[in-house]
Structure formats: C-alpha cells, structure tokens
Amino acid sequence: MQALVLTDYKKLEMQDVERPVITSPTQVLIRVKAAAICGSDVHGYDGSSGRRRPPIVMGHEGSGVIEEVGAMVTGFAVGDRVTFDSTIYCGTCSYCRQGLFNLCDNRRVLGVSCEEYKQDGIFAEYALVEERILFHLPPSLDFIQASLAEPAGVAAHAISLAQVSLADDVAVVGAGLIGLLIIKLLRTMTSGTIIALDLDENRRKKALEVGADKAFDPTQSDMLSHVQQITAGQMLPLVFEAVGATAPVQTALSLVKKGGEVVLVGNITPEIKIPLQQVVTRQIRLQGTCAINGEYPAVLKMMANKTLVVDDLISKVAPLEEGPLWFDKLYNREEELLKVVLVPGKK
C-alpha cells in the first residue's frame, strides 16, 4: 500500500509499505478515506515535540471504511463507516477501571513514535485500529467532516472539565483550530459574551465568524480595559488557553477574576513561566485537559445535526501524495491555513 512516511525531520516521502495485518482479535483494518493534519503532526515534523521519531507514519484524525475485522470484534462489521479516537487505552489499569481512559497508564496515540513506543498512524491507504476506540459515522456525516471529530472531541473534553454557566462571559486565548472549536461549542452553551484573543488579525476575524462576540490582539495596550468594560470591571470567571506557551498563558491569567478558572488546553511547549503569586493570592484554579474521554458520541451527533458545523474550518482537501507540500505550507504558516485533510488513493 501507499503511505506517507516521515523518513527524517522535515522530510516526508510516499512509499510502498506492507499493508497492515490484523494481529489481535480486537483489531479492525480500515481503508482510510480522510486523514487530517493535526498541529501536533506539524510540531512533530521538525522534531521539536520529540514524539514523531522517524521513520513513522503519522496521522490520528480521520475516518474510513472497515475492510477486515478480528475474530472477537462484535460491534462492527466489514463495510461500516467509522471514525476513531486517537488514544489507544489498555482498559485494565487503575485509570481505565475508573473510566479515565485518556489518563491510561499504558496510553498510546496513533501516529506517534517516542521513547516509550512506536504506533503507526493513518497517513496511508490502510490502518489498524482497536475496536474499543471505534465509532460509527452518522449517515449524514461524510468522511471529510468526520476527520474533524477528533479535534472537536478535544475541544469538548476541555469544556467538560470547566464550570460553564448559561450567562457566563468567557474568553478563549488562541484562535487556532482547537480555539475555534471551543468557541463554536461555547456558543451553544452560554448567552454571555465570548471573547477571542489572538495575535493574528485573520484568526481574530475567523473567531468572530464562528461565534465570538469580541476579538482582541492580546498585545494591544487597552485590551484589559476592553475586557473590564465588557464585564463591568469584574473580569472573567472562565478562560480557555489554547496555545500552550508562556505569553498566552499569562494573558489568560490576566483576564480571569479572583476565584476564577483557567483551562489549559494548549501544549506546544513543555515548560512555561507563570506568575505564581498571582495564581495563589487570587485563588485561581488551573485545570489541565488531556485528549478525549467519552465526548465522541456527543460531537458526532452535533456535527450530524449541524449544531456543530466544521466545514468552514477546512482550508484544503488534497490527495495524500501532496502531503509534503501541505506540511511545508502549514509549517511555514502559509495561506492562513486551518485544517488540511489528506485523502489516500485515487481522487
């Protein structure tokens, strides 16, 4: 089969590789119909994350059709249209037994190669997936749309860990794909003012298009005064940080009121500096959020009934063989791209 292989950092090649063979009775073989490029794939592309060690077939956001099933697979059949979680959990550790599958002690992620393990992903014509992370696609949802179920699930999980009230004013720092999905989902939950913050003017415009009421450059000198005006001087009970670097986290902390909550979603740098005294003396809650834990059915239903529309977040659909070109464009931040979806096989 054809696969897009990261053979070296910043080097992707289409290669003929062996088609995966089912080795576990709980696996299914999927013919991949759509595979979206995640920001974590782009960060792995240059080796900066340390979690995409060549050679590796990356990719974990996608959908497809089941071609073969293992002997113990009961909930799915050949021909079923499916999508899948990115997290492969063991089901037996103490966290899995509590239902905290995203915190599994033996957690693996599709398309990741790190010190602990290597797990080829879905930038290929076929991929192996465990039955327990599969989900049926609603009839009205096409493969391209379904490839965004994984990032939508990440956004939904972040919101599930927060305390969102009906009339809350909320801010989202970072208007990349996850930030925009958080805004879209928040718009279905609160009648309050949703504020987006991003350095990029085009992303601020996009945030307004998808549901934000206000959008500010976090570096502008009067940004805080604008937020104070919106909140009658109270600042915000809840802020989502969707970048994962020192400056945006500090921005998020500056926006939250005493006793408020900052949900940390972004994860592009392993370490940041925070104003500890500000967090402690203002009794701010910092909530980390990891991946997805049971949100797939909800987001698939919302996507199917158009409560959550994702088409406007897809910048380009391209053949898998054009993957190197689109990785370069995403890495170099060309053309204001949000989500690029790769399609294996013939057009």
| Tens-digit pLDDT profile for residues 60-98 | 999 999 999 999 999 999 999 999 999 999 999 999 999
Dihedral class, residue 142 (left if φ above 0, else alpha if ψ from -120 to 50, else beta): beta
Take residue 166 and report the two structure tokens written for it: 């009906």
Q: How many CB atoms lie within 10 A of CB 234?
A: 13
Tell me the pTM: 0.96
Backbone angles phi, psi at 53, to 5 degrees: -80, 125
Residue 84: which of 61, 117, 113, 114 has the closest Cα? 61
Ordered domains of the chain (ranges, CATH): 2-153+293-343 (3.90.180.10), 162-288 (3.40.50.720)
pLDDT tens string for the chain (347 positions)?
999 999 999 999 999 999 999 999 999 999 999 999 999 999 899 988 888 999 999 999 999 999 999 999 999 999 999 999 999 999 999 999 999 999 999 999 999 999 899 999 999 999 999 999 999 999 999 999 999 999 999 999 999 999 898 999 999 999 999 999 999 999 999 999 999 999 999 999 999 999 999 999 999 999 999 999 999 999 999 999 999 999 999 999 999 999 999 999 998 888 999 999 999 999 999 999 999 999 999 999 999 999 999 999 999 999 999 999 999 999 999 888 999 999 998 64
12-19: Cβ within 8 A, 24+ apart: 12/45, 12/323, 12/324, 12/327, 13/324, 14/320, 14/321, 14/323, 17/57, 17/124, 19/125, 19/126
